[in-house]
Structure 1
């Protein structure tokens, strides 16, 4: 998944330290729990993509695969966290000169290097195995971040690449958000309507999903089309802006958060356990995704002040996975065909259960190693440049 701002940095004006107000940290500092939440979401997505629909003879193995199937919830959590961080960063920069230049430069140095390296690997693999048509017909779609458009999906499925690209749709959703969101947010900010903008977009996205369910739109529209998924990003953005409105609204959020979280868990559980067993798409897209967005916002809020969730997500292991989450998201599916070929070569006649365990063992070992190598030897170079751009912008403002 495209990484949100690495140093989970936000700011808030006028937060009281009185005992009656929620206790929040210095929100201009790095918040480790948000890194851990990103790592948790990344692990969940890896689990989901390596689940299997095969029924095993062992109940414990079936239970594991069912739990792995819930990992899809990591993507909405990613989206909400990205919306929270990016909207907060934008809001805090609007009063500064050349805010837009600095924002787009920093986003480019964080996202583009790994993404276009991935496209280079896809191109090299397609050329190496003789799939030149796939490279020629589809690479430009990925290069322009258009792979989530339903009108182009038939081309992507008609000319599949050697390496897996099915998960790259979420990167397109985030990049389109980063590209477009600053402008309407800035215009709304100037009129003191930024909070309302987030709420309106969230509701419009929800209604668009309802309309697509009613019209029986193709599955690709439900899961990857930006207008239907941007609500999750704006839910996080709403929280980021609400915390900047002062004590009264912050205190109200503290009071209603437990009820919102409880209602979201009940609604989500109902969709998972009691919705029709034949097709859960309609309730999951309409009710489930909305409930999950609200729950994600509550989780983010509780990570901002001391408590069990902050301690959980501040775990060193989860924070490390959060640090490498961008590469982990990209590589875990990109090389899935390679992992499968390794299993088929060395365990060709083994049982399906053994092959499956071998596959997830390989994927869960090599993918984090590849992501770590990518982060520490490649991405970190561009992250240093990004930080220099940030420091240069601050020094110019100070002068």
Structure 2
């Protein structure tokens, strides 16, 4: 459905038509990220990776441990998908997204399926450890990462700290988009607007790196809870927002986007080749012990943080272009990847709980092939049930409660 919109005289064009479009490649990329996170957690729990005094199980163990590079993909994708309509409004002068439908979309997409996991985990895995109402409300409200003893109750919920970070970003995005619009919208040229948005996002990347350095201070100890707070991951989200601006700019004025994005459009496979090189460099681990899951030193942690940021940028960028190449479409929008992408949220939510149900804990031991088969099979079953019984019905409420589309889509310029 096309919507004709207008903006103030400073707009690039007085009239623009927009339409919402589904990008299956983005769905496939989300499925890839979910599989990477599942694999690295199974590798840890089966003893494939190095931990404490145990060495990794060959180079396969090293590669499985560094599948942690999958984590930034989620943040980059969120920044790209959620900010793109705001970026398009700033760059092309289209109508700004309405805030109420935006929040309804986010709430109905994330909370119902998550609350089902919390209910099951609290009633089964954590029943004997719960001694008060706050211990239940804390994960329900996604506040479990903001208390120093948050890990004392939460078996099966360990990975949901990333969801708490995502929700904090959801809340902050309209304000960030408003500030970027004020800064970039004054320019008349769409290419300049794109570059101003990128400059406006650069302090967020700096904040992310600065906070990451704080979490690696020796005085913080190992695995501090502050490591899971949103500021550390802000840089990854800012990278996604930058890709949203570049994607929207390419939609409006393809010849005015920065040279990097023109390279992405013309040589998308080379971006993935470079991403593979970054991943292998992270596996070799220039600073630190390859294949070890122990908390890194300052130098090792900051090196990894940089490599993960670069990996997320190079891997996700090719699927953000308005017209992806045939190679990208074939790799990311084939039936298998689209199915994994469709159930990716359930895979993310349930795979840790499956390990607990099968093994009782996450401590490294056992057979990787066996645990992988059980975890993947069980997660696919529960994730599929979650999608069709919880997530999809909840998303259909968007039209009634939030006046928003029930189907996943990205706003683009109507051609």
- So what's the TM-score if we normalise by structure 1? 0.77
Aligned to 1:153: 148
Aligned to 2:193: none
Runs of 4+ aligned residues of structure 1 deviating over 6 Å after TM superposition are: 258-264
1:1-399 aligned at under 5 Å gives the runs: 28-52=20-44, 54=47, 62-92=58-88, 96=95, 99-125=98-124, 129-133=127-131, 136-149=133-146, 152-154=147-149, 156-157=150-151, 159-161=152-154, 163-192=155-184, 194-214=197-217, 216-218=219-221, 219-221=223-225, 223-245=227-249, 246-250=253-257, 252-255=259-262, 257=264, 269-273=280-284, 274-277=286-289, 280-303=296-319, 304=321, 305-341=324-360, 353-354=366-367, 356-387=368-399, 389-391=403-405
CA distance in 1, matches of 2:405, 2:35: 32
Q: Secondary structure at the match of 1:164?
A: coil
Q: Secondary structure at the match of 1:327?
A: helix
Change (3 A) 1:214 1:61: closer
CA distance in 1, matches of 2:135, 2:307: 35
- So what's the TM-score if we normalise by structure 2? 0.74
The number of equivalent residue pairs is 351
Retained in 1: the 8 A contact 2:148–2:225? no
RMSD, aligned CA: 3.4
Structure 1: tracts of 5 or more residues without a match:
1-12, 15-25, 344-351, 393-399
Retained in 2: the 8 A contact 1:147–1:169? yes
Change (3 A) 1:364 1:391: closer
Q: Cα offset for 1:223?
A: 3.8
Q: Cα offset for 1:341?
A: 4.5
Higher RCO (CA < 8 A, seq sep 6+) = 2
CA distance in 2, matches of 1:213, 1:362: 35
CA distance in 1, matches of 2:258, 2:77: 21
Retained in 2: the 8 A contact 1:331–1:370? yes
CA distance in 2, matches of 1:200, 1:323: 33
Aligned to 2:412: none
